[in-house]
Amino acid sequence: MQDRQNKCGFTSKLSTLKIVDSLAEITRYKDRELLERSLAVTLSELFLSDEFRFYRIITVTIDGVTELRLSLLTYANQGVVISEHQIHENELPSWLLELVTQAVETQNLTERVDPETGATHIIYIVYTKHDDIYGMLLHKSKQPSFESRRLIYGLLRIYSNYLALLEESHRDTLTNLLNREILDTEITKIIVSHAQYRSCETAKRRRSFDGCHAWLCLLDVDHFKRINDEWGHLYGDEVLILLARQLEKIFRKEDLVFRYGGEEFVTLFRTFSHEDAQAICERARNTIAQYSFPGVGRVTVSIGVAEIAHQPGSSIVIGQADKALYYAKEHGRNQIHFYDDLLTRGLIKPHAINQSNSSIDFF
């Protein structure tokens, strides 16, 4: 009897230590993607026989009909993260998609047994600090327990709270846009992703990647100093705040919008063609030019764009967009120029790479 109690006590203590270690592992990252991967791995290590998939939930309204779209963020099984391309059953069956819809509508933990495999699928909804739905965790287990559900729910709450703190630290205090601190990280992710896809042996994946292009749009308010001088800094700040809101409406939820510094903004977005990128940037320029800013009136912007592809580092991408922006400023303002277009036409010289600059992320 005493031996059994000692064994149970040891097991309980070991489990507690493992959970504490798991919390330390989850909260040691400051990057959201790494944080999500760490969470999935941690849960998978705690429940080795189970599968965990983390999805981003995006709400899209088409012709008045609201649809839920899922974007797979990370997947872990037996303590190992498996990339999206290694998952054979990436598409969820219809009955599971209905379960996701039910979980979103009721905002409660929802579960159902797969009639074919007998495994239980449990859906946990993940929220932002404003109680908006951010994503969901799909837990697949053959022997779920009340204790496992409580532990996973608790870890998700810790993740959500920690993510909220990270989000606050990554936001510009004036406009609430993403700040410059994480811009380099996001650009580097795209460069690395590009390199990984280009090295892929499967021709189908290459064609799929070639059909999608990533862009950095550097936007600068024209004659902003004049606005501050004539109207005062309070009006200047209001222009920046309203401009930030306009950019959030123009670009999609999955695009990233940053305040780069002063009156400069950056957006990272993807399109399937150069023409689409031009159309998006032109819509941004025209929408802003047509907007009436209170007290100030019309304000225009100049835009420089660079494609994010095979550059050796984030500083090079920003430098190329800045070179295109400078050309726009020097040739009349209120216009858009793409770095590669200017280079092809011989209107600018290639952006110089300063290898002594320690901020460049060479690979």
Active site residues: 263
Phi, psi dihedrals of residue 253, rounded to the nearest 5°: -65, -35
**CA 290, CA 304: separation in Å to the nearest integer?**
20
Residue 354 lies in a domain: no
The total domain count for the chain is 2
CATH number of the domain residue 231 falls in: 3.30.70.270
Measured distance between the N- and C-terminal CA atoms of the chain, rounded to whole angstroms: 60
CATH number of the domain residue 64 falls in: 3.30.450.40
Residue 308 lies in a domain: yes
One domain for residues 152 and 258: no
Evaluated on CA atoms 131, 137, 142, 147, the torsion sign reads negative
From 140, 169, 198, give the residue that closes a domain.
Answer: 169
Q: Please give the model's pTM, rounded to 2 decimal places.
A: 0.69
- Stretch (H or E) spanning 138: strand 133-141
One domain for residues 158 and 206: no
Residue 174 lies in a domain: no
One domain for residues 131 and 60: yes
One domain for residues 185 and 133: no
- Non-local CB neighbours of 307 within 8 Å, separated by 6+ positions: 213, 214, 215, 216, 274, 277, 338, 339, 340
Residue 246 lies in domain: 180-344
Output the average pLDDT for the chain.
83
Residue 61: pLDDT above 70?
no
**20 versus 118: which is more confidently predicted?**
118
Amino acid present at 118: G
The token pair that represents 218 in the structure block: 């550097």
Tens-digit pLDDT profile for residues 224-273: 999 999 999 999 999 999 999 999 999 988 899 999 999 999 999 999 99
Residue 123: pLDDT above 90?
yes
Tens-digit pLDDT profile for residues 290-342: 999 999 999 999 999 999 998 999 999 999 999 999 999 999 999 999 999 99
